[in-house]
Amino acid sequence: MRRVPLHLGARGALVARHFLLTADGGSRGNPGPAGYGAVVHEGHVVVAELYDFLGIATNNVAEYSGLVAGLVAINALDPLAEVDVRMDSKLVVEQMSGRWQIKHAGMKELAQKAREAHSPALVTYSWIPREENAHADRLANKAMDELGGFVPRQLNLLTERLRMDEVPTTIYFIRHGETILTADRKFSGSRANDPALIAAGLANAKLVAQEIATLKPEILLASPLQRTTQTAKEIATLTDLPIVFDESWLECDFGIWDGMSIDEVKEKYPKEYQAWVSSSAYAPPGGESYDALGWRVDEAIDKLVATYPGKRVAVVAHNGVIKQAIRLATGGSPSSIFHIDVSPCSISTITIWPSDGLRALRSANEMGHLR
Q: Point out the catalytic residue in the list 178, 211, 234, 251.
A: 251
- The amino acid sitting at 344 is P
- DSSP annotation string for 110-156: HHHHHHHHS-GGGEEEEE--GGGGHHHHHHHHHIIIIIS-----HHH
Task: Give the C-alpha separation, 297 to 276, whole Å.
Answer: 19
Q: What are phi and psi of 145, to 5 degrees?
A: -75, -55
Residue 256 CA, chain-centre distance (Å), reads 22
| Residue in 358, 352, 303 with CA at minimum distance from that of residue 131 | 303
Segment (H or E) for 47: strand 45-57
- Confirm whether 104 is a catalytic residue: no
CA dist., res. 107 & res. 157, Å (int): 35
Please provide the DSSP assignment of 169-203 as one string. Answer: EEEEEEE---BTTTTTT----SSS--PPB-HHHHH
Which residue in the list 176, 211, 234, 299 is annotated as catalytic? 176
In the residue annotation, 176 being an active-site residue is answered as: yes
CA separation for the pair 291, 207 (Å, rounded): 32
**Positions marked active-site:** 176, 251
